Every structure is written in structure tokens, then in C-alpha cells.
Amino acid sequence: MILSHFRYIAIALIAALLCPAALPAQEAATAPRLVIPATDEGLPGAGPIRRAEWFQNVWRNRRSTFARGAETDREAVVFLGDSITQGWNDDFRGDFPGVKVANRGISGDTTRGMLIRLHEDVLDLDPAAVVMLMGTNDLEENAEPETIAGNVELILGELKKHDPEMPIVICQVFPSSASKKRSAEKITELNRRVSEIAKDHPQATVVDTWTLFADADGDAKKEEFPDLLHPNEQGYAKWKKAIWPIFATLGFIETEVEPYELEPGFESLFNGVDLTGWGYRPTTPQMLKSRERWQQRDPAAPAWPIVSEPVNFDGRQRTPDGRYLARSGRLIVTTPTEGRKIQQLWTTREFSGDFQLVLEFRATPNADSGVFLRGPQLQCRDYHLAGPYKDLESYRPGEWNELVVTAKGSVARCSCNGEVIEEAFKIPESGPIGLEGDRGQVEYRRIRIKALP
């Protein structure tokens, strides 16, 4: 653990000892683009570009390594960032088996530095996707969130220009500490601005990696960030879990359906292939009243689309708005481009009498969804971060969890991984089963129901 804590300092110390001759003379002569420009004149973006000798050596040598591996790294999922990204190691410690990944993190780099090297280090690889984590070093250099977000916007624009369909995963800046010149206020403002910019880029998915790591004061936790800046192994494991479901939705991993046997007496509500049996239902007067009350409480509340006529999605793998997607045995409620957006998907059948509903779900950090039980909504979320059941001992963040609902008469007993979350949840005598989307991504699988005697 001590070695892990100091290896980032070692990067800087070793780099500072390197001389310019560390770059082969022939390579230096043919690749002046790998050297940081001497002045800001004519450079894109705004804000700080680091030019300390140690950083120039790190920047040049890392980029030289990138150039040598460019052909090998073509069409990889490219991670673009600073020391936090670089610290995952070029092989990502084997955390993404079966996925071709390329690490383009440079310790100490700023968003403007990343913008300058974007084409050669990233776009020339024709990446399958780009994962971004950037901005913390700009804050240390006293750049304002508005300036940093402006550079991120330029980077997103270049990525979009290169390929408007290429997936982009934006990880929110991790918490740190005011003692590191990275206050919670500055980081949250930067994350807010970048999330607003991302709304104009449908190919981008924002992952709430700030809430994932922040303590009650909005700062990093020592047990995950020993120096209050760089994650340790525990921190990297949590980061992996945060983006793993997104990789699955993009089709990079979990491309095969995991087999399971349907228990006696149960019938599947989701065939694992398409949205047969599911659809959008007309917005009811009761839902309209709920919508009005909600928007009165929060004028900035997300959009809640009005559905006038029922829509059936039999045989279709996704809804026209892309909010619900069937892939490899999973019914996915995707992350909305708007950041938050209420949408509801319902079974085309209604269910009466006593029943048991069983399903599994997996949520990205702070994601918010729900399961409608003949109408009323049982919250289904990243419980530890989003609530309301924050004290569950059995909930597994970023992993699959089992939800069991046993309905008898007008009440239902609900549990998560065997731990009761609602003892007597009130439900009507008849109605459909539904899934809600709000923020983040939530996946469902093995959705099945059994009539009870």
C-alpha cells in the first residue's frame, strides 16, 4: 500500500532526472510534435499548459511511447487523461479482459495539453470509444471551471467531428481536497458545466464518478485516495465497476447471454432478445397530477414525456428514443442525454391475483430507476448512493442484485438479496408491471413472474 501511495511521486522524480537525450535523436528529429510548444501562441483552447522541466520530460517520453504503439493500439477503447488514468498502467492491470484498450494518460497533464495532443494520441488511432477523465490539474493551476469546461467542449467537438457515432464516456472529476487546491465547490461546478455541455452530444455518456467517491464533505476518502488525489487499488476497482456496465451496453463485454433455468411455475416477462411484451402506455390523469406536483416542487425537474396513444415494441430491440434497449439478455434503461429524463416502459399485459415477481438489476453510480407494481413504483436504484435504502448490508454496488416481490392481496413484501426493503408495500388489485428511467443506467435481467395460489 505504501508503494502504491508513493509511485506517483516517483513518476515525477524519475522524469525530473531524465535529460532531453532520453528521447532517441532520430525520433526527436522526426517528431518535434511530441514536444510541448514553447509558447501558447496559436494553440487551441485556453488556460494552463504545464512547462516545468519534469513535466516536459514526462510529456515527451509518454508521447514517444504512444507513437511507437500507435499501430498496435488502432481501434482500441482509448482512455484520455492525466496521472489518474496513467496510474491504471498501460495494460490496465488486466481489468478489461477481451477488450482492446489503450492508455493515453499523462501524469500532470491539463485539459489544454490533452486538446493539443488529441489528434495524434487519440484520433489517429480511430478509436472504438473514448473514456475521458480530465480537469483536476487545471484546478491546481488556478484555472476556473468555466475555462476548463471550455477545453472539454472543444475536445468533445473534435471527437464528434472525427466520428459522430463513436461512443464517449465522460467520467466526472473525482473528489480531492482544498489542501490540494481542488476544493469540492470547484470540482462540483466543473462537473456541472461539463454535464451541461454533454447534453449536446448524444454519443456521450456521463458517469457520476464524483458521487461514487465523495465523502460527506465532498472530499476524497483517505482509504481510497491515500494522498487525497490518486486512487489506490480499491479506488481503481470502484472506477472499473462504475464504467463496466457502460462497456456492456456499448457491446464491448458481456456479449453472450448468461444461461439460467426458469424455475417451475414462473414465466418470463422479458425474452432477453427484444422488447416483445413491452410498450409505452398513455399518460394517465393520475400521472399528470404527479408530474405537476413534482414540477411545482422542483421547477428544474427533468422532462416527463406525455404519451397520447399506446405503443407496442414487439420485435424491436430498442425504443425509438433509445431509452430502453434489449441486448444480450439485459433490458437496459440507458443514461439519458439530458442528464435526467423520466420515461416509463410497461408490460402490455396486466396482472391480478397474488404473485411473485423476481428479477435482477445492476446500476451505475447514483443511478435512479424503479419497478412499477401494477402502478405504484418501488424504487430500484444504486441504493447506497441514491437511496432510499442506503443502509442495506447485502446490496452490491455495480454488480447484479436480486429483487423479489411477493404480492398477496393489496400489499407486497419486497427484498433485495434477501434483505427486506418494504414489508407491506401497497399495490392495486390489478395492473401491469413497469420500469422507470430517470438518471444513470440501470439494467434488468431474468424478469419473471409466478402466480401464487
- Reply yes or no on whether the pLDDT at 16 is more than 50: no
pLDDT reported for residue 290: 72
Least Cα distance to 452 among 359, 354, 357, 358 occurs for 354
* Burial of 400 (C-beta count, 10 Å sphere; 0-12/13-18/19+): middle
Indicate the SS3 state at residue 83: helix
CA dihedral 215, 216, 218, 223 (to 10 degrees): -20
Residue 18 dihedral angles phi and psi, to the nearest 5°:
-75, 145
- What whole-number distance in Å separates Cα of residue 234 and Cα of residue 440? 22
H or E stretch at 28:
helix 25-30
Express each pLDDT in 367-389 by its tens digit.
999 999 999 999 999 999 999 99
- Reply yes or no on whether the pLDDT at 404 is more than 90: yes
Express each pLDDT in 215-255 by its tens digit.
999 999 999 999 999 999 999 999 999 999 999 999 999 99
pLDDT reported for residue 304: 73
Indicate the SS3 state at residue 45: coil
* Helix intervals (H) in 91-144: 111-121, 136-140
pLDDT reported for residue 13: 45
pLDDT reported for residue 247: 98
pLDDT reported for residue 9: 43
pLDDT reported for residue 302: 67
Average pLDDT (264-283) is 96
Mean pLDDT of the chain: 92
H or E stretch at 347:
strand 340-347
Q: Is 203 within 8 Å of 132 (Cβ atoms)? A: no
Q: Is 425 within 8 Å of 373 (Cβ atoms)? A: yes
**Reported confidence tier of residue 36, pLDDT bands at 50, 70, 90:** very high
Give the cell for residue 235: 479506488
Average pLDDT (164-189) is 98
Structural domains present in the chain = 2-249 (3.40.50.1110), 266-451 (2.60.120.560)
**Reported confidence tier of residue 31, pLDDT bands at 50, 70, 90:** low
Average pLDDT (34-42) is 94
pLDDT reported for residue 303: 65
In terms of pLDDT, which residue wins out, 25 or 399?
399
The DSSP output letter for 133 is -
- Reply yes or no on whether the pLDDT at 131 is more than 90: yes
